[in-house]
Structure 1
Amino acid sequence: MATTPGNDAWIENWLSVDRFSTYLESAGGSRTRALDLYEWNAKLSAAFLHDLSHLEVGLRNACDRQLAAATLPGDLHWTDPATLLTLFPILMRRNKLTGRQHDVNKIPRNNVERARTSAATKPHTPPLPGKTVAEIMFGFWTYLLSDSHEKTIWVPYLHKAFPPGTDRSRLNDSLASLRRFRNRVAHHENILQGSEGERRRIVYLVRLLSPDALEHLQTNSDVAMILTKRP
């Protein structure tokens, strides 16, 4: 690649032409501002990961506390096999695209079973519940608020984790958006657009779970400050 003024040909080699072109377009063609935007985006992403980690830990612990009430006699925790199958029973539905029957609860059961396997420290010994919960991915917790789990999980258990009258649909929409946003951040994609909306979603969800936690988060979050410093 030809050397550009200022000897910055390394940028496309390092970031790729396609990746850097997004920032060039946002910077109106200015290579200096484009690189500044890239650095700003990286700092904003790191700050968001801090806030999202707080939300993820708080959400999963809130869900775990409420799902404890579902634990069947003989099981120690809701992630144990019998209770897990009760919470996520085999439910066959026809796929509209393929026409084939599939178990819509297989994925969440598999997610928990994989977490149990990862959390196990000794052969033939049940994993500690806390380690299992920590191993379950963010996507699992967000899907618990979906329409398909309203009757089996939201109504009997999870609504108690939120203030009375909380709109499950709005919760679900907010978490679905943040799940997609988190994936973009984790894969180092640009978050040049829509970041303020995602910041507000985090605030909304954390406030519902714990106003005290929200106060702590806002004291320690750099997201709002970094958003004001966009190049």
Structure 2
Amino acid sequence: MSSDFWIDQWLGSPRFQRYVDSAGGDRGDALALYEWNASLSAALLKDFSHFEVALRNAYDKAISSAWKNSTHWLLDPQSPVVVPLWRVKTHSDGLKRGSDINEKNRRQVFRAIDNCGKKNAEAGKVIAELTFGFWRYMTTSAHEKSLWVTYLHKAFSGKPQRSDIDRIIGTVHILRNRIAHQEQIFNLAHEFDPAIVHTEMMTVLERINPEAKARVLASSSVAEVFNSRP
């Protein structure tokens, strides 16, 4: 038995083997690579959290500024994120069926409202309760007319295309989920490369709030950690 078998007990042999392979078979280098991956993940999560807060507040401002009802848009039963939004999809069996694409969003909103006091729920607390995944799906093509054209385009300077914003936020969401599950985040496909995802996320943050982008970059350790790869 190897003297460092504790590593396999700690991390799991299949999991650690991916790092061993990337390190050319050297287990010591593989452990250093694992620890570096964890450091990079932590640095990215810090900046991702700043981005998420900026994004949800920008969306809230954009919708609230044009919302006509007296009830906050997130608590209103006529909210575009909770009313049924039907689309016809072709399923694997070849049949076309109607699907309410807001069903998942609606469940999330209602659960957040329940968790924040039900009838006494405050909009700010509900906003903070909702997951990043909720905000991420607000820019998908299915919400082009109901959200992007009507409200969300106002959250970004420079009149960007919805599809470009959605692609970038989508890659942030995917990489964030990998990190949340303590997965390897290097040697990914080009579009999910941490350095590329971080850079593109910063371009979106600049469109939302250039001062916030400058502040996040000033305190970010992503570039430093990324360049210290063993």
Same fold (TM over 0.5): yes
Structural mapping, 1:1-231, within 5 Å: 2=1, 4=2, 7-75=3-71, 77-84=72-79, 86-97=80-91, 99=95, 100-120=97-117, 125-193=119-187, 194-231=193-230
Superposed CA RMSD: 1.6
The separation in 2 between residues aligned to 1:223 and 1:93, in whole angstroms, is 40
Q: Are the equivalent residues in 1 in contact too, given 2:81–2:106 (CA < 8 A)?
A: no
Give the stretch that moved more between structures: 92-101 or 49-58.
92-101
SS at match of 1:218: helix
Q: Are the equivalent residues in 1 in contact too, given 2:108–2:130 (CA < 8 A)?
A: yes
Using the aligned pairs only, state the percent identity: 38
Measured against aligned partners, the alpha-carbon deviations of 1:15-69 in whole angstroms (never above 9, x if no partner) come to 0011101100110000010000000000110111100000000000000111113
Measured against aligned partners, the alpha-carbon deviations of 1:80-99 in whole angstroms (never above 9, x if no partner) come to 14232x45432333442264
SS at match of 1:37: helix
Q: Are the equivalent residues in 2 in contact too, given 1:51–1:202 (CA < 8 A)?
A: no
Structure 1: which amino acid aligns with 2:74? T
Count of residues paired in the alignment: 222
The separation in 2 between residues aligned to 1:29 and 1:87, in whole angstroms, is 50
The separation in 1 between residues aligned to 2:33 and 2:145, in whole angstroms, is 46
Structure 2: which amino acid aligns with 1:19? R
The separation in 1 between residues aligned to 2:18 and 2:175, in whole angstroms, is 17
Structure 2 regions of 5+ residues with no counterpart?
Answer: 188-192
Structure 2: which amino acid aligns with 1:16? G
Structure 1: which amino acid aligns with 2:26? S
Structure 1 regions of 5+ residues with no counterpart?
Answer: none
Q: Are the equivalent residues in 1 in contact too, given 2:88–2:99 (CA < 8 A)?
A: yes
SS at match of 1:66: helix
Q: Are the equivalent residues in 1 in contact too, given 2:81–2:102 (CA < 8 A)?
A: no
The separation in 2 between residues aligned to 1:74 and 1:55, in whole angstroms, is 29
Structure 2: which amino acid aligns with 1:78? W
Structure 1: which amino acid aligns with 2:213? L
Give the stretch that moved more between structures: 141-150 or 26-35.
141-150
Measured against aligned partners, the alpha-carbon deviations of 1:138-157 in whole angstroms (never above 9, x if no partner) come to 01111111111111111111
SS at match of 2:119: coil
